[in-house]
Amino acid sequence: MTVRTALVIGGGVAGPVAAMALRRAGIDAAVYEAYPATADGVGGSLAIAPNGLAALRAVGAEDAVLAVSRPMPGMVMAIGRRRTAIPPLPGVPALRLLWRADLHRALHERAVSEGVPIEHGRRLVAVDETGSGVVARFADGTTAAADILVGADGVHSTVRSLIDPAAPGPRYTGLLGFESSAGLDVPEDDGTIVYSFGRRGFYLYRRHPGGGTEWGANLPQERPLTPAEARAVPAAEWLRVLAGVHAGDDPGAELIRTTSPDRLQVLGSLKIMPSLPHWHRGRMVLVGDAAHAPSNSSGQGASLAIESAVQLARCLRDLPGPGPAFEAYERLRRPRVERVAARASRINHAKAPGPVARLLMPVLMPLAMRTVMAPERAVGPEQRYVIDWDAPVAQTQP
C-alpha cells in the first residue's frame, strides 16, 4: 500500500526535517508540536557535523542552518597544561556551532516555506490504528488522521510508549550540564573549541567573536535532577560548586570566576537513550531522539536525528507500505546509531574519571589520540557518511 499522508509528532529537530523529506518523497506530512510556541531562547548550544549538513542538503535545508551557525574547524584536547591539537578530517566541511533555539527556528521556517503545516499546542495522548490508517488524539480534544504516524517527540517520547509500553526510557549519564559566557578573553582564535579535562571535571570553551569566552561544563552528580530541581538551585550556588570542582584548572577557574550568575544556563541532567527493542509497530515509527539519543559527548545527536528523518522518507518512498519501509529504515539506521552511542559512552567515562584514571589520563590520552582516538579512525566513518537521496532503497538492502 502506498503511503500518501503522515502525521509527524514533535517540532524540534527531527520533526520538521522528517516532514520536509516526506514531502519530497511525495507524502503529505504535517507536524504537531506539544509546546504552544517555538523554543526561542531555550536550550544550549550544539554542533551539526558534516554528515548532518549533508543530510540537510538532501531536503534543501542546509543553507538555512549555515546562515544561523558558525564554523568551528579547530579542536584542541587539553589535559591539565598539556594541549594536543586534533587535526581536521580532510575533504569534509567544518562542524557548525549554533544555539538549539536558532536551529529549531531555522528548520521551522524552512519547513513552513516548503508548505509543511506546523500546529503548536497539540500534545499527543493516544493513537487509534484502523485498517487503513491512524487517528491521533490530542489533549485539547482534537484529532488528526493519516496513513502513518512518525514519533519525533524526543527522549520522553509519548509515541515510543504507545509502540511499546515496556520500552526503556532515557538513562542518566551521571552528569549535569551547564553553559555560560565569561568576561575572560582566551588566546584561541574564534574557530577553535578546547575540550579540557580538569583535575575533577570536564569543561570546554571557545572564544566568542564579539569578545569574552563561551564555556560549558559537565558536573559529575550521583542523583539525576529534573530541570525544575536543577534550576531551583540559585545560579550563584552552582557557580560556587563549579568553582570548587575547577579550582586550579587553567583557564577553567578564571572562566567561572568571571561569569555572572545571570548568564549561567542550567541545562540539567544529561540523558541518553538505551537500545530499544522496537522502533516501530503497525503504522507508527520512531525517528530522532525518540529512538536513539547518544550522549552529547558524541557531537552527533542532532546530525543523527536529521539523517534518520531523511532515511525514513527514502524507505517510505521506495518500498511497498509501512511494514517493509519501517523494517528497511531500522536496518539501515540501527547499526550506525548504536556504534556512535557506544563511542560516546566511552567518552562519558573519561569525563568523570576515578582517582586512578585521573592520574593516568595525562599519560594515556596523548597515546590514545594517536591510535584509537585518531580522528580518521574515531570519527571518519561518522562524519564522511552521506545519504544518496536519489538512490532507490532495496527491500533487502543491508
Tens of pLDDT along 8-39? 999 999 999 999 999 999 999 999 999 987 76
Residue in the block written with cell 518512498 = 317
What's the pTM? 0.91
Distances (CA, A) of 174 to 57, 78, 150, 229, 272: 35, 22, 30, 15, 11
Distances (CA, A) of 181 to 96, 122, 254: 19, 35, 12
Distances (CA, A) of 98 to 48, 101, 156, 199, 291: 8, 8, 23, 28, 23
Read off the pLDDT of residues 52-111 as tens digits, 9 standing for 90 and up: 999 999 999 999 999 999 999 999 988 877 888 888 899 999 999 999 999 999 999 999
pLDDT over threshold 90, residue 201: no
Q: Report d(CA 310, CA 157) in Å as an integer.
A: 20
Q: At what angle do helices 301-318 and 322-351 cross, to 10 degrees?
A: 170
The DSSP-derived string for 308-343 is HHHHHHHHHHHSSSHHHHHHHHHHHHHHHHHHHHHH
Q: What is the CATH number of domain 171-271?
A: 3.30.9.30
Distances (CA, A) of 175 to 140, 179, 203, 225: 36, 13, 12, 10
Number of residues that this document lists for the chain: 398
* Residue 57, helix vs strand vs coil: helix
Q: 169 or 369: which carries more pLDDT confidence?
A: 169
| Superfamily (CATH) of domain 5-81+96-170+273-351 | FAD/NAD(P)-binding domain (3.50.50.60)
Query: Which segments of the chain belong to CATH 3.50.50.60?
Result: 5-81+96-170+273-351
- In contact, 179 and 99? CB cutoff 8 Å: no
Read off the pLDDT of residues 258-292 as tens digits, 9 standing for 90 and up: 999 999 999 989 899 999 999 999 999 999 999 99
- Say which residues have a Cβ less than 8 Å from residue 60's Cβ, sequence separation at least 6: 20, 24, 110, 114
Query: Which segments of the chain belong to CATH 3.30.9.30?
Result: 171-271
Counting beta carbons within 10 angstroms of the beta carbon of residue 312, is it exposed (0 to 12), middle (13 to 18) or buried (19 or more)? buried
* Residue 64, helix vs strand vs coil: helix
